[in-house]
Amino acid sequence: MIVLHRRAGKTTAILNHHQRAALDDAWETRRLKFLLPDASDSHIARLLKRRVYWHVMPSYHQCKVTGAWDTLKEISRVVPGAKPNESDLKVDYPNGNRVQLVGADDPDRLRGPGLSGLSLDEYSQIRSNAFSEVLSKALADHLGWAIFSGTIKGTDQLYSLYETAKDDSEWFSLWQNIDVSLATEAGATIEALRRALDDDRKLVKRGQMGQAEFDQEWYLSPEAAIKGAFYGDQLKDLRDKGQICRVPHDPSLPVNTDWDLGVDAMAIWFTQSTRSGEVRVIDYHEDIGGGLDGCVKVLRGQSGEAESDTRRRSYTYGEHWAPHDIETREISSGLTRRQTARSMGINFKVTPKLSVDEGISAVQLFLSRCWFDETNTKDGLEALRHYKRTYNQRLDQFTATPVHDWASHAADAFRGRAVRERQKRNRPKKRPEANMAYTAFS
């Protein structure tokens, strides 16, 4: 677990580590014998064959634009017989081993190879279940190791994992801000960082950079908000007020669900509402690959193949809500998803249509009434924190358009919950029949 300030050289160090592991059989042999002290030499020899090491970044595009691929090509040039492959972003070494850069845009595409080592760069921006559901299994065959690295963005999943790992003897954990680097390292790069830090301080004084951004990038401040986040202020306010806490399921209240039915992933929020207007967000589930059938199993408290958590949800349900595209007919069956769900025992209602901008505004107003279970909705909360505006580099400003990434499914499903609450509150109230004599007298 490596949490370092911006420009600390994380990617370069990790790629060198991958290459060392790919070339150094003695190092890998010591590691494997430590993990398998009773294994025979022939067993260890089998594990050493055709080793693959992956460096995973949030997207395929980032593998190139961040310079990671250029770095891997550069450090591999000193290895006689190393063959870089530009189209696959991989280097094959003469001993049959490989180091490859991979994007985490679609976690399902990461299934397949057995890995001897794995790194997840800028883990804050990688979908959390990419490791738990897919990549952790890829390490099984070779007893591979994993590195999680990046610069935190508030109390995100990288921060949370560090908090878990720092006191665990099975982990190596490093947390290093800019002051530690300047005090303990030397050289041209450190002098450049010292100058960059001073320059950024001047930008803060001139108002050209926010203090929160400065503290986040250089000093790893977990309180700094994610730039362009739609709900950053509201979620920070909820945490400050203690509304992200333990929220137990109340058996006397029905549980309503709000869905996003994506092609690659589905998201479900579980809420209970009180007469006072308080909304208890007690659970969240996101499914990759299981489809509608897998999600229905989750609602029934069954464990589907695609489900990584093993919670048994024994809820009494009220209403199930889905976006308008649930009425779209599937080519293969000729049925709408709504009809398919009905055949499985789930009767969906259709969430009222509202523009994305209006829906986001509805969420911003709605959040103050919500209480989130910090454990069961952890993944959903992380997605809401990271749901952000698109940045226009040419204009040097954020637009109103949301970024479509791993956070979108949870955010879209929660927007549906806020929209129907807004519609309910804006619905004209039925006026009781007037007493004509009393009305005339008034």
On whether both 114 and 246 belong to a single domain, the answer is no
Residue entry with tokens 């580099």: 393
On whether both 260 and 136 belong to a single domain, the answer is no
**Strand partners of residue 371:** 280
Contact 59, 107 (CB under 8 A): no
- Strands 244-245 vs 370-373: parallel, antiparallel or unpaired: parallel
pLDDT at 311: 63
Q: How far apart are CA 213 and CA 210, in angstroms?
A: 5
Contact 83, 92 (CB under 8 A): yes
pLDDT at 233: 80
Taking every pair of Cα atoms in the chain, the longest distance, rounded to a whole number of angstroms, is 102
DSSP output for 244-265: EE-----TTSPEEEEEEE-SS-
On whether both 246 and 138 belong to a single domain, the answer is no
In a domain, 194, yes or no: no
On whether both 282 and 417 belong to a single domain, the answer is yes
DSSP output for 63-86: HHHTSHHHHHHHHHTTSTT-EEET
Give the side-chain half-sphere CA count within 13 A for 301. 6
Distance of CA 198 to the CA centre of its chain: 32
On whether both 322 and 419 belong to a single domain, the answer is yes
In a domain, 231, yes or no: no
In a domain, 36, yes or no: yes
Contact 225, 231 (CB under 8 A): no
In a domain, 57, yes or no: yes
On whether both 271 and 145 belong to a single domain, the answer is no
Helices (H), 276-404: 291-299, 337-343, 356-366, 378-386
On whether both 169 and 285 belong to a single domain, the answer is no
In a domain, 181, yes or no: no
Q: How far apart are CA 35 and CA 126, in angstroms?
A: 28
Q: Which of 63, 109, 123, 115 lies closest to 89 in space, CA to CA? A: 63
pTM of the predicted model as reported, rounded to 2 decimal places: 0.56
Q: How far apart are CA 440 and CA 433, in angstroms?
A: 14
Q: State the residue range of the domain holding 28.
A: 2-176
Domain final residue pick, 144, 176, 208 = 176
pLDDT at 441: 28
On whether both 83 and 162 belong to a single domain, the answer is yes
Q: How far apart are CA 383 and CA 406, in angstroms?
A: 7
The DSSP output letter for 269 is E
Whichever domain contains 417, its CATH number is 3.30.420.280
Whichever domain contains 129, its CATH number is 3.40.50.300
On whether both 133 and 27 belong to a single domain, the answer is yes
On whether both 48 and 131 belong to a single domain, the answer is yes
Task: State the distance between the two ends of the chain, measured CA to CA, in whole angstroms.
Answer: 73
In the chain, the number of structural domains is 2
In a domain, 190, yes or no: no
In a domain, 115, yes or no: yes
Tens digit of each residue's pLDDT, the chain (442 residues):
999 998 899 999 999 999 999 999 999 999 999 999 999 999 999 999 999 999 999 998 899 888 999 999 999 999 999 999 999 999 999 999 999 999 998 777 888 789 999 999 999 899 878 898 889 999 998 999 999 999 987 778 898 899 889 889 999 999 999 999 999 999 999 999 999 999 999 999 998 888 878 888 898 877 566 778 899 889 878 987 999 999 999 999 999 999 998 776 789 999 999 999 999 999 999 987 667 888 888 888 765 444 444 566 879 999 999 998 888 777 666 788 888 889 888 899 999 988 999 999 999 999 999 999 998 998 999 899 889 998 887 776 788 899 988 899 999 999 999 999 988 777 665 555 444 333 332 2
Helices (H), 349-435: 356-366, 378-386, 408-426
Domain final residue pick, 176, 205, 230 = 176
Q: How far apart are CA 253 and CA 232, in angstroms?
A: 30
On whether both 169 and 244 belong to a single domain, the answer is no
On whether both 386 and 315 belong to a single domain, the answer is yes
Q: Which of 237, 54, 218, 232 lies closest to 156 in space, CA to CA? A: 232
In a domain, 250, yes or no: yes
The DSSP output letter for 434 is P
Return the number of other C-beta atoms located less than 10 Å from residue 173's C-beta: 16
